[in-house]
Amino acid sequence: MDKKSTANLIMIWVVMLAFMYIMYTRGNKPAPAPVKPLTFAEVRHEEDVAGGDKNKLNQVLARYNDLAKADPETETAAQARLREAIIGETKMNSAARAVLDYKSLVQDFPPATSPTGREAEQRLFVLQEQIDTKNSHMIGYQAMDKLVALTGRNPLYSYAFALLLITIILKVVTTPVSKKQYKSMKEMQRIQPLLKDLQEKYKDDKAALGQKTMDLYKEHGVNPFASCLPLLIQLPVMFGVYFYVISVYQYQFAKGHFLWIGSRFAQNLPEFVHVAVLGRKFAIPLLGHSLAQPDLPLLLLYTASMVMSSKLNVVDPSQAEQQKMMTWGMPIMMLFVLMSFQSSLVLYWSLFNIFSTVQQYHIMKAHDNLPPLTPVTGGSNDSGTKKPGGGKKAIPSKISKKQTEK
C-alpha cells in the first residue's frame, strides 16, 4: 500500500471515530429536566397580569388549553375551558365564539353535577339575552317576529309554523328558476342515449367527439349548464334567509316546540349522550328540548329528504356509480356536520328540501311522456335510425321538410 492510500485510510478512520464520538456523547447527555406545567392558579395570575394585552392573552389561552387537555374529565379542565370562554367574551370581542364554548362546556359538564357547568349555563343565558337584544333591531328579526305573532305566539306551533311560512314564501319566489333547473335536468336525461351513441362512435377521436357533442346540444337546444345556473341563484337566497332572518332570531326559538321537540317526553330525556370514539368523547343529541337545541330524529328526517332529492337528480346513467356515492355521501356528511346545529335551522332546510323534491318530481314526471330525442341532420346525423338492411337513415329536420314542401 503506498503512502497516499495509507493517508486516505487513516483520514477515513479519523472521520469515523470522530462521528462515533459525537454520537456517543450526544446520546449520553442528560435529558433536559421536564418543564413543570403551570397550575390553574398560576395561569389565572398570568391572566390578571396580561390585562387587555391580546398577545399575552393568547399565551394565557394556550396555557388554559393545555390544562384542559391534560386531564379533560376533571373539574380543573372545566374551569380552564370556562376561563377561555370568558376571555373570548369579555376581552377578545368574540361573543359568538364564547356562545359555542359555553354550550360545549355545558354539554360535557352537565350543570346538574358540575358547578363549573352551572356557571357556564348562567353566563350562556346572559350572553344570549344580550345578543338577542342587539339582534332585535334588525329587519330580518322583526320579520320573523311578526310571523310568530301572526300565528299567536303559541309555543306548541307558532315558531314552527312561522318557519313553514318563511319556507313557502321562499319557495314561491324561487319557483321560476326551479322550473328551469328541473326542465333542463329532464332534457339532459332525454339526450343521454344520443350522447352515448356519439361516445361509442368517436371513442378514439376526442376532438371530433367534443365537436359532435356541442353540435348535438345546439341542435336540440340543450344547455348542459342550465341546471346549475338556477341553483346558483337559489343558494344565496336560501342561505341569506338563514343568516339574516332565522339566525338572528335563534335565541327566541328556545320558546318554540315542534311535535316531539319540546314535548314532556323530550324534557325527561338528557339533551346529549356522550360516546367515546378513538379516545375522543362526542356529544350525540337525542330529542331537542326546544327549537333552539339539536334534535336527532329531525336531523335523520332531513338526511332522508336529501337522499330522496339526490335520487331524482340522476342525469347520466353511465355515471350511476359516482352519482350513487353522491346520493349517500353528501347526506351522511351533512348528518355529522349539522349534529350540533339547532333544530330550527334543520327544520327550515328539511321543509325547503321536501317542497323542492315534490316540485321536482311533478315537473320531471310531466315530461316523461315526451317522445325520445332523435338525431337532426346537419350536425350529429351519424347516429340515426337503422334501415332494415342494416344501414342508417337520417331523420330529416323540420327545416328540410319545409324546403321540400316549397
Same domain for 351 and 214, yes or no, is: yes
Q: Which helix (H) or strand (E) holds 132?
A: helix 115-135
Same domain for 186 and 322, yes or no, is: yes
pLDDT exceeds cutoff 70 at 124: yes
Separation CA 378–CA 312 (nearest Å): 33
pLDDT exceeds cutoff 80 at 83: yes
Separation CA 348–CA 249 (nearest Å): 13
Same domain for 190 and 116, yes or no, is: no
Same domain for 270 and 311, yes or no, is: yes
pLDDT exceeds cutoff 70 at 174: yes
- Give SS3 for 258: strand
Domain housing 216: 158-366
Same domain for 199 and 269, yes or no, is: yes
pLDDT exceeds cutoff 80 at 3: no
- 18 belongs to a structural domain: no
At position 222, the amino acid (one-letter code) is: V
pLDDT score recorded for residue 21: 64
Nearest to 41 by CA among 76, 75, 84, 87: 76
- 309 belongs to a structural domain: yes
- 392 belongs to a structural domain: no
Same domain for 223 and 359, yes or no, is: yes
- 142 belongs to a structural domain: no
Q: For the domain that residue 49 is a member of, what is the CATH number?
A: 1.25.40
Same domain for 164 and 255, yes or no, is: yes
Same domain for 177 and 271, yes or no, is: yes
Same domain for 340 and 252, yes or no, is: yes
pLDDT exceeds cutoff 80 at 307: yes
pLDDT score recorded for residue 367: 62
pLDDT in tens, 348-375: 989 988 888 888 777 767 666 665 566 5
Residue where one domain finishes, among candidates 84, 101, 134: 134
Nearest to 250 by CA among 104, 126, 121, 144: 144
**pLDDT: is 185 or 404 the higher one?**
185
pLDDT exceeds cutoff 90 at 158: yes
Same domain for 113 and 166, yes or no, is: no
Residue 161: pLDDT band by 50, 70, 90 thresholds? very high
Mean of per-residue pLDDT scores for the chain: 78
Q: Give 247's DSSP letter.
A: G
pLDDT score recorded for residue 315: 53
- 406 belongs to a structural domain: no
Please report where in the chains the cell 355545558 appears, as a residue: 106
CA distances from 213 to 198, 209, 222, 227 (A): 7, 6, 11, 17
pLDDT in tens, 7-27: 655 666 666 667 666 655 554
pLDDT exceeds cutoff 80 at 332: yes
- 326 belongs to a structural domain: yes
Number of domains observed in the structure of the chain: 2
- 32 belongs to a structural domain: no
Same domain for 119 and 226, yes or no, is: no
pLDDT exceeds cutoff 90 at 273: no
Same domain for 191 and 105, yes or no, is: no
Q: Give 151's DSSP letter.
A: T
- 141 belongs to a structural domain: no
